Amino acid sequence: MQIRAVSTAPFTDQKPGTSGLRKRVQVFRRPHYLENFVQSIFDTIAAPLGAVLALGGDGRYYNREAIQVILKMAAANGFGRVLVGRGGILSTPAASCVIRKYQAYGGIILSASHNPGGPDGDFGIKYNTANGGPAPEKITEAIFSASKTIAQYRIADAPDVALDALGDSKLGDMTVSVIDPVGDYAGLMESLFDFAAIRALLSGGFRLKFDAMHAVTGPYAREIFVNRLGAPSDSVINAEPLPDFGGGHPDPNLTYAHELVEALYGNDAPDFGAASDGDGDRNMILGRHFFVTPSDSLAILAANAHRVPGYKQGLAGIARSMPTSAAADRVAAALDIPCYETPTGWKFFGNLMDAGKVTLCGEESFGTGSNHIREKDGLWAVLFWLNILAARRQSVAAMTRRCEASGAGMAASHPLTQTAGFAITSDLASVADSPSRMASSSIGNVSRDVEDIVREHWAHFGRNVYSRHDYESIPNEAANGVMKLLHGRFGELQGAHLGNYKVLFCDDFSYTDPVDGSVSTGQGVRIGFTDGSRIVFRLSGTGTEGATLRIYLESYEPDVAKHRLDAQQALAELIRISLEISELRERTGRERPTVIT
Ligand code: G16
């Protein structure tokens, strides 16, 4: 096998964003573009000769071609073995699992996540380190620096490697091991959750619908939900991964996962709905006619973790990204464990998990995960919810049996039912100090219903009313203008009265990593009010066209009587204030957000 050193010139735009380098497919297909970035990764990480690399992607358009290029470059750069998912497929969480399980030196994941795919869509590439997590900023910055001075890359002259059958082959001195992309990950899930209880739930008439959005999770969801947990095969929809995601936008939110949303909000809706994104790390959770915000989801998983085998030992701590609501903070306080606030981006959780400081992490951007791997994990979140639902059903059944055995009618005998309006099967027992603060729920539906779990949670902890408004594809100049204007207004905003609110502080969030002391600045403009409400403005770091400006809105409502109010109504005044102080409409010409979640 001959190794060629190819002369090249730098590109100036290879700066990784929130999660790796994301560009249009046409950009990646420009001569040397992919190769330059891959060589910049290899030059930066300086892996020892013979090191093991994991490699796979979400199957989007250009995945296979890119895998072949990277394999030949890995061989030319001295790797000893590459573990590649069959067909070039590895979901992001599965890649993290594989890196950790086989103690790889690192991994390359090909994905633009929730961004659309196809010849005119997006492609992406990111490097994960030996802990299985996204490379921290100091590495991504070093990769960017290397990309600015690169003069040549190394690639092997060799035929393409067959990727569709499991087994080993040789590329020069390097071994290419084609591995089952699903098995290791599914096994890990089985070790964390009570599959028997979930199987019993699903066989007892509980109906699940999971939307794989024609993205990478289809085969994972089929294996886990249908083959291992016995759900009917039509529980998983859009399960065939397609290079262009069937022309859809594989982002699991209320706008883009509309097929699932229509099913869950329709007549005869299933009990539980969930969706995942292009590369399988995001999740959306729905109940019957009910949406669980990702911020609430994190808090509820934390409050119910004692119900789940993999977490019943307790949580070391919780971490959330800054724009994520403070719902999880309230649970952490009740559990008397620390809660960390990090910048947006899963890479900021890695150090905290490695140091044993946190067990659960979550972001408002539909990401939840734990220290089982070092990426957020869509199917994991779905299984966690199913496990909670199954455990609650079991505890209701056990309680019913106990009451019947004691010869007393349950409603009359259980202490929590002595007063109307108490939830009799609170899963929050370990953190509840006053059952009288629980919401009302009947025994018939408390164990079955996502909405009841959420309402019960709000009744106990109060509701962090939350919404995110995204203005997508706006001109960079206008978006930067808005951010600059806000920065310029910090002085006048401080202490200002805006409608019914008084500004307590305004700043641009910066974070000092408590483990390695690294500092990340410019992570989003925060305007905090005296009553704990917040408005956050932030530019997305994952888009490829123009800019996406995100406005995050949050208020706190302790009064159960007001919990049924629609979030947009409850936040109406904050929304109005956010538009006024940012001059967003005037500067962008946009009358309304592209996506509201
Ligand atoms: C990536 C990161 C997440 C981050 C999200 C949103 O998600 O992994 O940690 O929260 O981007 O980023 P932004 O607001 O900058 O668009 P994914 O699913 O795209 O990899």
425: confidence class by pLDDT, cuts 50, 70, 90: very low
Residue of the CA atom closest to atom 17 of ligand 1: 113
Neighbour order of strands in the sheet with 339-342: 339-342, 318-321, 360-363, 367-370
- Per cent of the chain over pLDDT 90 is 88
Contact of 320 with 363, CB cutoff 8 Å: yes
Residue 281 Cα: closest atom of ligand 1? 18
Which protein residues are within 6 Å of ligand 1, measured from CB?
18-19, 113-114, 277, 281-282, 321, 344-346, 363, 365, 367, 540-542, 550
What is the number of helices (H) and of strands (E) in the chain?
21, 27
Residue 259 Cα to ligand 1 middle (Å): 23
Residue 365 Cα: closest atom of ligand 1? 10
> Rounded mean pLDDT of the chain?
92
Contact of 362 with 320, CB cutoff 8 Å: yes
Helix (H, G, I), strand (E, B) or coil at 263: helix
Can you give the pLDDT at residue 400? Answer: 73
List CB contacts of 404: < 8 A, sequence separation 6 or more: 410
The CATH architecture to which 185-387 belongs is: 3-Layer(aba) Sandwich (3.40)
* 201 has pLDDT over 80: yes
Residue 247 Cα to ligand 1 middle (Å): 21
The residue among 300 and 255 whose pLDDT is bigger is 300
Residue 18 Cα to ligand 1 middle (Å): 6
Alpha-carbon distance values, 122 to 27, 89, 470 (Å): 9, 17, 19
Q: Give the residue, out of 125, 127, 344, with the most ligand 1 atoms within 8 A of its beta carbon, to mutate for a pocket test.
A: 344
Residue 363 Cα: closest atom of ligand 1? 10
Can you give the pLDDT at residue 408? Answer: 54
* 426 has pLDDT over 60: no
Contact of 83 with 54, CB cutoff 8 Å: yes
Indicate the domain borders of the chain: 2-181, 185-387, 463-596
Tell me if domain 185-387 and domain 463-596 are identical in fold: no
Residue 54 Cα to ligand 1 middle (Å): 21
- CA–CA separation, 251 vs 365, rounded Å? 10
Give the N- to C-terminal CA distance of the chain in Å, as an integer: 52
Q: What is the mean pLDDT of residues 282-307?
A: 97
Alpha-carbon distance values, 7 to 13, 35, 39, 69 (Å): 19, 11, 12, 16
448: confidence class by pLDDT, cuts 50, 70, 90: low
Residue 588 Cα to ligand 1 middle (Å): 23
Active site residue 442: no
Q: Give the residue, out of 346, 523, 539, with the most ligand 1 atoms within 8 A of its beta carbon, to mutate for a pocket test.
A: 346
Q: What is the mean pLDDT of residues 329-354?
A: 96
The residue among 446 and 93 whose pLDDT is bigger is 93
Alpha-carbon distance values, 222 to 219, 272, 284 (Å): 5, 16, 18
- CA–CA separation, 4 vs 298, rounded Å? 49
Can you give the pLDDT at residue 336? Answer: 97
Radius of gyration of the chain (CA): 24
Residue of the CA atom closest to atom 18 of ligand 1: 113
* 427 has pLDDT over 60: no
Over the stretch 546-574, which tens digit does the pLDDT of each residue have? 999 999 999 999 999 999 999 999 999 99
Over the stretch 223-252, which tens digit does the pLDDT of each residue have? 999 999 999 999 999 999 999 999 999 999
Q: Let me know how long the chain is.
A: 597
Helix (H, G, I), strand (E, B) or coil at 593: coil
Hey, CA dihedral for 458, 523, 365, 133, is it positive or negative?
negative
Residue of the CA atom closest to atom 1 of ligand 1: 19
The residue among 444 and 493 whose pLDDT is bigger is 493
Residue 357 Cα to ligand 1 middle (Å): 22
Entry pTM: 0.90
- Per cent of the chain over pLDDT 70 is 93
Over the stretch 502-523, which tens digit does the pLDDT of each residue have? 999 999 999 999 999 999 999 9
Task: Provide the CATH topology of domain 2-181.
Answer: Alpha-D-Glucose-1,6-Bisphosphate; Chain A, domain 3 (3.40.120)
Query: Between 3.40.50.2300, 3.40.50.180, 3.30.310.50, 1.10.10.10, what CATH number should domain 463-596 receive?
Result: 3.30.310.50
When mean pLDDT is compared across 101-105, 185-189, 398-402, 443-447, the lowest value belongs to 443-447
* 501 has pLDDT over 60: yes
Residue 541 Cα: closest atom of ligand 1? 15
Residue 396 Cα to ligand 1 middle (Å): 38
Contact of 250 with 278, CB cutoff 8 Å: yes
Can you give the pLDDT at residue 429? Answer: 38
**Active-site choice (91, 113, 276, 295):** 113
Residue of the CA atom closest to atom 19 of ligand 1: 113
Q: Which long-range contacts (CB under 8 A, 24 or more apart) does 499-503 make?
A: 499/573, 499/576, 499/577, 500/573, 501/529, 501/530, 501/531, 501/533, 501/573, 501/574, 501/577, 502/529, 502/530, 503/527, 503/528, 503/529, 503/530
- CA–CA separation, 279 vs 282, rounded Å? 8
18: confidence class by pLDDT, cuts 50, 70, 90: confident
* 257 has pLDDT over 90: yes
Residue of the CA atom closest to atom 14 of ligand 1: 540
Can you give the pLDDT at residue 407? Answer: 65
Can you give the pLDDT at residue 405? Answer: 77
